[in-house]
Amino acid sequence: MLTAIDLNSDVGESFGRWRLGDEEILPFVTSVNVACGMHAGDPVHMDEIVGKAHELKLAIGAHPGLPDLQGFGRREINLTPREIETYVLYQVSALNGFAVSRGSSLTHVKPHGALYNMAVIDNRVARAVARGVARAGGHLILVGLPGSCLLQAADTLGLPAAAEAFADRAYNSDGTLVKRGLPGSIIEDPDEAARRALDIALRGTIKSIDGKEISIPAKTICVHGDTPGAVEMARTIRRRLESAGVTLRPLGELAGRAK
């Protein structure tokens, strides 16, 4: 049973005059994954989020995605491994510049959307992502699904890694995420999300969409900043975890080599 876990959120996904408002979730999490301008975000919002996260002493991570603003990085794009590697390096390095300017530094990298899901099952994509992260900094923790190709690639390159679970997403019985757009793929009820977070933290398990209990040994739990009611969901999850005796700690204090 875990006595400590990280609670992370994908943030900084405003763009130009369009505001998502995901910065309101910051007080309730311990780590943030900041969009780097490819799937969402822009330099102004990157700088703002990094500054707020630094003030709150949150672990700051890069959230690189595919170059697809219109599709919010959730559409698969057939890029070469070289392109994926350099797109990751470019985005992580850009966000790190903002962090350093604030007297902070990056702790981790978590791919976004389609890039994340592709790296779960595709060794070619996973290795390219890991190479980009390694070039940006060998100390950076690579975040991905337990047992994924991405975490295997991190281990191969000697990168620290952290297995992640999702409180607000449904799972297939094989441990992969149910595709967005399918019925039941998004968990919107804060109480249900909190129950799932407790199962992850205390038992290392979660129920799949077909009712099967699956093992999910995670060091960090994600609440998406763009999920409906995300702020209330994060608040509820944090309160329930702490009430159950689970300590919330930033990702950098919990992660190690991938297994």
The string of pLDDT tens digits covering residues 130-151 is: 999 999 999 999 999 999 999 9
User: How many CB atoms sit inside 10 A of residue 166's CB?
Assistant: 23
Model pLDDT for residues 237-253, shown as the tens digit of each residue: 999 999 999 999 999 88
DSSP reduced 3-state for 140:
coil
Distance CA 131, CA 104 (A): 23
Q: Which residues of the chain fall below pLDDT 50?
A: 1, 259
> In this predicted structure, what is the pLDDT of residue 254?
78
Assigned token pair, 30: 């311990």
CATH assignment of 4-257, given 3.40.50.300, 3.20.20.370, 2.30.38.10, 3.40.50.150? Answer: 3.20.20.370
Pairing of strands 247-248, 141-144: unpaired
Say which residues have a Cβ less than 8 Å from residue 79's Cβ, sequence separation at least 6.
66, 87
Phi, psi of 171 (to 5 degrees): -115, 145
